[in-house]
């Protein structure tokens, strides 16, 4: 055995692309043995990935940064491509590791993959240790008084807040990595469907995550409650892609919030409460998908399976390309297509519009988001879509967003709209939310003739909303059958 006596520990990186507060790496490095930081480009997993490349590029940037940080600790990132079991089988025959460490992932498909991987590795008599990561509280640690999982946000959040919070682990000790072959880090353009985003708003990696987080804490956290809903401002943290790829840990973010503005019981002060609440939404959706894995594909509430969604390819394409004639919807979709990120208010409005105005199944929308978003997180995506389509957990009164009203409330001057729909730049604020309402003379003067320079609305919002409401009420009451007439 080439490494007898100092058999290394393999630290298997997945969605935890950082060295600070990384439990698996921290514990592997503390053992005083050589460490093999391994990233597997899993060819089976890639087949099921919907991304058209942007998220892959973000991951590649994060991996390059991780490789640098690991080199700074004395080690070397090893990248291998292939089927997971084949890669492990090869590594095991090359170095006979003592153990394999990794951080857990709570997405249902990842759980299945990990069960298989652990079984496979243990067959060689190799110890496997896994650690909590991704969330501050494991989905099993938050239970209702009867012991079941939560399906409503507020009581989940109350319970979440009461639990003692783990402290961040800091940087790992230095370690060495045995000489092993490594492959290049794969980027988005190696995917068959690669269509890269033009100007991503953030760059991947732990270093950029830390800079972004520190600048948010310093410059924007204080005003977060007032500005988080305004898509034309950079009022939010834009930490979602970093959380998705684990370039920063939520444990560290929470601990920074407490340190910066200590409240009571090791909890941040009230002014930072809103931000914490958003982190809890993230954990809530991870909790829901973990306990109700079917919601990745199906409505949380079965009675809505009877909704006879329609699919009109023409309107679906118009939605995807941001050509619906509803400026806020179009701005959101164009921001997504151009940058791989969309402001949360715009996500809610565009998602509601697809489901409730176009009556297109939310699953098509969720899939489109999955191809584009840098921060694609199955739990939040499916949770956000089911919330927007009113088919999911946490029932609120049926809410149907009116895109023009949303636009007046959250982008009154049309700054966001004009940034992403530049053909509307000469439209006065008064008409920016409904440019087709301009008189024919004004349309000519501004160079925005409805149907020529900018689409006329592709749907009558009032009629569409009334139709959705009637279908929703009937589905809820169990009065829709699979033979109920479709709208198209
Ligand atoms: C239809 C739809 C699809 C969505 N898909 C995703 C997705 O794939 N990945 C994703 O991370 N978020 C998703 N969201 C939630 C939300 O839009 C983004 O998390 C947020 O816009 C990210 O920007 P930020 O980091 O600046 O947010 P901030 O406002 O700065 O919030 C801080 C963090 O809290 C979490 N968070 C904030 N809002 C939500 C929310 N509503 N639900 C869950 N977590 C939240 C995110 O991790 C975010 O980074 C979706 C929302 C909707 C309505």
Residues 352 and 466 in one domain: yes
pLDDT tens track for 132-142: 999 999 999 99
Residues 263 and 310 in one domain: no
Residues 140 and 116 in one domain: no
Residue 482 within a domain: no
Burial classification of residue 483, based on how many CB atoms lie within 10 Å of its CB (0-12 exposed, 13-18 middle, 19 or more buried): exposed
446 lines ligand 1 (CB under 6 A): no
Best of 230, 282, 391 to mutate for ligand 1, by most ligand atoms within 8 A of CB?
Answer: 282
The residue contributing the CA closest to ligand 1 atom 43 is: 282
Burial classification of residue 68, based on how many CB atoms lie within 10 Å of its CB (0-12 exposed, 13-18 middle, 19 or more buried): middle
Residues 272 and 357 in one domain: no
Q: How far is the CA of 39 from the centre of ligand 1 (A)?
A: 26
Lowest pLDDT segment from 119-123, 192-196, 320-324? 192-196
In the chain, the number of structural domains is 3
pLDDT tens track for 356-388: 999 999 999 999 999 999 999 999 999 999 999
- Residue 475 three-state SS: helix
Average pLDDT over residues 450-457: 97
Task: Say how far apart CA 214 and CA 198 lie, in whole Å.
Answer: 26
The residue contributing the CA closest to ligand 1 atom 23 is: 238
Residues 420 and 333 in one domain: yes
Residues 338 and 468 in one domain: yes
Beta-carbon count within 10 A of 133 CB: 23
Best of 370, 373, 375 to mutate for ligand 1, by most ligand atoms within 8 A of CB?
Answer: 375
Best of 54, 352, 384, 416 to mutate for ligand 1, by most ligand atoms within 8 A of CB?
Answer: 384
Residues 6+ apart with CB under 8 A from 43: 81, 82, 83
The residue contributing the CA closest to ligand 1 atom 48 is: 240
Q: What are phi and psi of 39, to 5 degrees?
A: -120, 125
Residue 354 within a domain: yes
347 lines ligand 1 (CB under 6 A): yes
From 109, 132, 155, give the residue that closes a domain: 132
pLDDT band at 196 (very low <50, low <70, confident <90, very high): low
pLDDT band at 5 (very low <50, low <70, confident <90, very high): low
79 lines ligand 1 (CB under 6 A): no
Beta-carbon count within 10 A of 36 CB: 24
The residue contributing the CA closest to ligand 1 atom 31 is: 278
Q: Give yes or no for residue 266 having a pLDDT over 70.
A: no
Average pLDDT over residues 145-150: 94
From 77, 110, 132, give the residue that closes a domain: 132
Residues 400 and 420 in one domain: yes
381 lines ligand 1 (CB under 6 A): yes
The answer to whether the CB of 307 falls within 8 A of the CB of 301 is: no
pLDDT band at 149 (very low <50, low <70, confident <90, very high): very high
Q: How far is the CA of 236 from the centre of ligand 1 (A)?
A: 10
Residues 376 and 237 in one domain: no
Q: Give yes or no for residue 68 having a pLDDT over 80.
A: yes
Q: Give yes or no for residue 66 having a pLDDT over 80.
A: yes
Q: Give yes or no for residue 281 having a pLDDT over 60.
A: yes
Residue 174 within a domain: no
Eight-state DSSP code of residue 78: E
Q: Which residues are catalytic?
A: 278, 281, 309, 344, 362, 385
281 lines ligand 1 (CB under 6 A): yes
CATH number at residue 278: 1.25.40.80
The residue contributing the CA closest to ligand 1 atom 16 is: 344
pLDDT above 90 covers a percentage of the chain that reads 83
Average pLDDT over residues 467-471: 95
pLDDT tens track for 393-433: 976 678 899 999 999 999 999 999 999 999 999 999 999 99
380 lines ligand 1 (CB under 6 A): yes
377 lines ligand 1 (CB under 6 A): yes
pLDDT band at 187 (very low <50, low <70, confident <90, very high): confident
Residues 124 and 144 in one domain: no
pLDDT tens track for 269-280: 666 889 999 999
Return the bridge partners of 100, or none: 10, 128
Residues 228 and 332 in one domain: no
Task: Say how far apart CA 178 and CA 9 lie, in whole Å.
Answer: 10
Ligand 1: atom nearest CA of 240 is 49
pLDDT band at 155 (very low <50, low <70, confident <90, very high): very high
Burial classification of residue 468, based on how many CB atoms lie within 10 Å of its CB (0-12 exposed, 13-18 middle, 19 or more buried): buried
Residue 342 within a domain: yes
- Taken as a whole, the chain contains a residue count of 488
pLDDT of residue 472: 93
Residue 215 within a domain: yes
From 253, 272, 291, give the residue that closes a domain: 291
The answer to whether the CB of 111 falls within 8 A of the CB of 77 is: no
Residue 196 within a domain: no
Q: How far is the CA of 326 from the centre of ligand 1 (A)?
A: 23
Residue 182 within a domain: no
pLDDT of residue 8: 98
Residues 118 and 233 in one domain: no
pLDDT of residue 195: 64
106 lines ligand 1 (CB under 6 A): no
Give the structural domain span for 245: 135-167+202-291
Average pLDDT over residues 284-303: 95
Q: Give yes or no for residue 150 having a pLDDT over 60.
A: yes
Ligand 1: atom nearest CA of 348 is 53
The answer to whether the CB of 122 falls within 8 A of the CB of 94 is: no
pLDDT of residue 476: 87
391 lines ligand 1 (CB under 6 A): no
Cα–chain center distance at 241: 7
Helix axes 250-260, 273-291, angle to 10 degrees: 160
CATH number at residue 15: 3.40.50.620
Residue 418 within a domain: yes
Average pLDDT over residues 294-310: 92
Residues 161 and 88 in one domain: no
246 lines ligand 1 (CB under 6 A): no
pLDDT of residue 139: 96
pLDDT tens track for 86-116: 999 999 999 999 999 999 999 999 999 999 9
Q: What's the mean per-residue pLDDT of the chain?
A: 92
């Amino acid at each position: 055995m080439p490494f007898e006596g100092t058999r290394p520990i393999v630290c298997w990186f997945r969605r935890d692309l950082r060295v600070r507060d990384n439990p698996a790496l921290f514990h592997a490095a503390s053992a005083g043995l050589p460490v093999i930081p391994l990233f597997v480009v899993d060819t089976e997993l890639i087949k099921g990935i919907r991304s058209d490349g942007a998220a892959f590029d973000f991951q590649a940037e994060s991996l390059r940064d991780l490789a640098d940080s690991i080199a700074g600790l004395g080690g070397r990132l090893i990248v291998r491509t292939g089927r997971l079991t084949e890669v492990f089988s090869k590594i095991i025959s090359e170095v006979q590791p003592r153990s394999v460490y990794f951080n857990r992932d709570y997405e249902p498909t990842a759980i299945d993959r990990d069960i298989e991987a652990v079984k496979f590795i243990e067959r060689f008599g190799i110890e496997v240790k896994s650690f909590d990561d991704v969330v501050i509280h494991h989905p099993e640690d938050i239970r209702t008084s009867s012991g079941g999982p939560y399906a409503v946000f507020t009581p989940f959040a109350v319970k979440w807040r009461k639990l003692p919070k783990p402290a961040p682990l800091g940087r790992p000790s230095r370690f060495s990595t045995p000489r092993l072959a490594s492959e290049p880090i794969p980027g988005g353009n190696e995917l068959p469907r690669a269509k890269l985003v033009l100007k991503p708003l953030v760059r991947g990696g732990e270093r950029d995550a830390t800079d972004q987080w520190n600048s948010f804490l310093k410059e924007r956290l204080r005003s977060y409650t007032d500005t988080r809903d305004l898509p034309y401002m950079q009022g939010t943290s834009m930490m979602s892609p970093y959380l998705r790829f684990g370039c920063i840990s939520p444990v560290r973010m929470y601990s920074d919030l407490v340190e910066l503005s200590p409240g009571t019981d090791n909890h941040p002060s009230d002014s930072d409460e809103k931000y914490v609440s958003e982190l809890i939404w993230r954990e809530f959706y991870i909790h829901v998908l973990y306990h109700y894995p079917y919601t990745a594909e199906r409505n949380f509430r079965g009675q809505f399976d009877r909704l006879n969604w329609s699919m009109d390819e023409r309107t679906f394409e118009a939605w995807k390309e941001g050509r619906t004639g509803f400026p806020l919807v179009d701005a959101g979709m164009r921001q997504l297509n151009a940058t791989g990120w969309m402001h949360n208010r715009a996500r809610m409005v565009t998602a509601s519009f697809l489901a409730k105005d176009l009556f297109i199944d939310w699953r098509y929308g969720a899939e489109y988001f999955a191809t584009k978003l840098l921060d694609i997180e199955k739990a939040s995506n499916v949770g956000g879509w089911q919330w927007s389509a009113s088919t999911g957990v946490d029932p609120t009164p049926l809410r149907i967003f009116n895109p023009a009203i949303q636009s007046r409330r959250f982008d009154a001057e049309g700054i966001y709209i004009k940034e992403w729909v530049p053909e509307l730049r000469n439209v006065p604020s008064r008409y920016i939310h409904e440019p087709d309402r301009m008189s024919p003379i004004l349309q000519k003067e501004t160079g925005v003739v409805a149907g020529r320079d900018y689409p006329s609305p592709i749907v009558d919002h009032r009629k569409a909303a009334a139709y959705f409401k009637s279908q929703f009420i009937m589905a809820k009451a169990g009065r829709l059958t699979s033979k109920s007439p479709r709208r198209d």
